[in-house]
Amino acid sequence: MLKNLANLTALMQITFLGTSCAKPTKERNHSGIYLSYGGDGILFDCGEGTQRQITIAGIKPTSVNMIFISHWHGDHVLGLPGIVQTLGISEYANTLRIYGPKGTKKRFNEMMNAVVFDNRINIELYEGTGKIVDNEDYYIEAEELEHKTETIGFRFVEKDKRRMKTDVLKKIGVPEGPEWGKLQNGHSIIWKGKKIEPDEVTYIVKGKIISYISDSVPSANSLKLAKDADLLICESTYSSKMQEKAEANWHMTSKQAAIIAKSADVKKLVLTHFSTRYKETGELLEDAKEEFEDVVCAYDFMKIKL
């Protein structure tokens, strides 16, 4: 879980592009969450109008190189053809990687075939659960959730980094160069006849964890996805007053989302995917706060830096 000095400054920023459920409102678009990390533009769900929300948020659509689809209900995917078309008529040098639950390849291809595209971009499709992305900086896991159709949740895990105690190294007199590289990779060095262990001159910065639980009822997997997350983004379509409706529609209440956050030792909870009946989210927030204090209700274009 260690990486080198070159990528230590990756900035992690989340922008909420849509926070409504099945119907958009004047204030809230369909589901879409943009995570910028280093050079990656990662989109979680892509409801109708997502590309316009991206533009309004001041993000370049061409920065998107990965899209994670939680499930194929329209409010999470109807923006896909639009963004793919825009990328096709833009200077898009990337390969767009799209991940989703079982059935994603077939459904995506059917969706694309329904539309005429003059310019096709390079797209790679992936479906299923487990560790679906793993690179030098982070990995992403997907787990099945319980909803009306095949649905998955995601867990973005930034890898731990070893940082140099530069003042200590300067004091000892080790100049910046290959010896620093060895220490940073966790190896000891011999300096002027004395052994220096990496733990003496470096320290570990824990990577951040972001979990996204979309449409679903609480399950063992939602706890697994949320475990120790710095930020849990969780659906919260109703308050507890609508518990029966939530169950009937395979959705969660704010209190249930808060119980997941509490049980999984999450640091901060962000609620999203609100029923249009809630013009104000105060009732949802209060409902959640009965179980978990550090909670906010997302709104369109809300940004969180981690």
Residues that bind Zn ion (CB under 5 A): 73, 75, 215
Minimum CB separation from Zn ion for residue 158, in Å? 27
Q: What are phi and psi of 187, to 5 degrees?
A: -105, 145
Maximal CA-CA distance, the chain = 72
Q: Exactly one of 75, 215, 287, 300 is catalytic; which is it?
A: 75
- 228 is an active site residue: no
Minimum CB separation from Zn ion for residue 245, in Å? 14
DSSP letter assigned to residue 89: T
Q: What are phi and psi of 89, to 5 degrees?
A: -105, 15
Nearer to Zn ion, 215 or 300 (CB): 215
CB 50, CB 27: distance < 8 Å: no
Collapsed DSSP state (helix, strand, coil) of residue 17: strand
Minimum CB separation from Zn ion for residue 232, in Å? 17
Minimum CB separation from Zn ion for residue 22, in Å? 6
Tokens representing residue 73 in the block: 């209900």
CB 84, CB 112: distance < 8 Å: yes
Nearer to Zn ion, 72 or 99 (CB): 72
Nearer to Zn ion, 30 or 155 (CB): 30
- Return left, alpha or beta for 128; rule: phi > 0 is left, psi -120 to 50 is alpha, else beta: left
The whole-angstrom separation of Cα 17 and Cα 27 is 11
Active site residues: 75
